[in-house]
Amino acid sequence: RKEVEQDPGPFNVPEGATVAFNCTYSNSASQSFFWYRQDCRKEPKLLMSVYSSGNEDGRFTAQLNRASQYISLLIRDSKLSDSATYLCAVSFSGGYNKLIFGAGTRLAVHP
Amino acid sequence: EAQVTQNPRYLITVTGKKLTVTCSQNMNHEYMSWYRQDPGLGLRQIYYSMNVEVTDKGDVPEGYKVSRKEKRNFPLILESPSPNQTSLYFCASSLSGGGILTSYEQYFGPGTRLTVT
């Protein structure tokens, strides 16, 4: 079983739709959680960190469920510019900044 | 502008011909790391460095070497490239290596697409 798993998609949604991605992790001792966005053939860029209490940034909401060991990303009112691959990343406890990345979920927003 | 740079961006080479991919950051970050990205496998860590002269293996270090003689530079060396090292490579840096309860955002370079024939 992979340490961090995501549904690869693609998720094909119309503009204005709400879409949700989940990411499961296997190590219950994980401490830090992130969502990165990656455009085609470009570098990943941090979208948002995920906090225990959940956090929101405009149309994006991230949630953490420690009991079930998953994090989620909700995108409301999807825009064409949201089309990208979304990577979740989990940092395991025990020291240095090692992030384990999921393989990513591809989102395609169409007119 | 704060950034991580990599060179070259694209490279086609032949099996066995030594190559170096350079990585440089201008943010005075302590922590640097190399990843490779392959379809369906996501980003996998090759090597990382907590600070100058401190490097360690990641999850897929075989066939690679690194060095960290200066804080800003972290080159990736392939002594004898093989076709299974064809991949998209990313260098990343962050403020520090973090700790048990702390993890810092990683900034990625633009990537190097390597093809080994």
What are the tens digits of pLDDT across the range B49-103? Answer: 988 999 999 999 999 999 999 999 999 999 999 999 999 999 999 887 665 545 6
Interface of A with B (CB under 8 A): 4, 8, 31-32, 34, 41-46, 49, 87, 91, 93-99, 101-104
Residue with tokens 């990345």: A101
Q: Does B100 touch chain A (CB under 8 A)?
A: yes
Among residues of chain B, what percentage have pLDDT more than 70? 94
CA B63 to chain centre: 13
pLDDT values of chain A reduced to their tens digit, one per residue, 111 residues: 778 999 888 999 999 999 999 999 998 877 789 999 999 989 999 999 888 888 999 999 999 999 999 999 999 999 999 999 999 999 876 556 678 899 999 999 999
What is the CB neighbour count within 10 angstroms for residue A5? Answer: 17
Contacts of residue A49 in chain B, CB cutoff 8 Å? Answer: 105
Check if the beta carbon of residue B35 is closer than 8 Å to that of residue B93. no
Could you give the 3-state DSSP secondary structure of residue A80?
helix
The answer to whether the beta carbons of residues A111 and A14 sit under 8 Å apart is: yes
Q: Report chain A residues whose CB lies below 8 A from the CB of B42.
A: 4, 87, 101-104
Going from the C-alpha of A111 to that of each of A64, A87, A108, the distances in angstroms are 31, 24, 10
Kindly report the nearest CA distance between residue B81 and chain A, in angstroms: 22
The answer to whether B104 and B95 have CB atoms below 8 angstroms apart is: yes
To the nearest 10°, the Cα dihedral for B14, B111, B97, A105?
Answer: -110
Task: Flag if B97 and A31 touch (Cβ within 8 Å).
Answer: no
Query: Residue A104 phi/psi, 5° resolution?
Result: 100, 150
The structure tokens 């530079």 sit at B73
- Using the beta-carbon criterion (under 8 Å), do A97 and B31 form an inter-chain contact? yes
Rounded to whole angstroms, the Cα distance separating A80 from B113 reads: 27
Which residues of chain A lie closer than 8 angstroms to B100, CB-CB? 31, 93-95
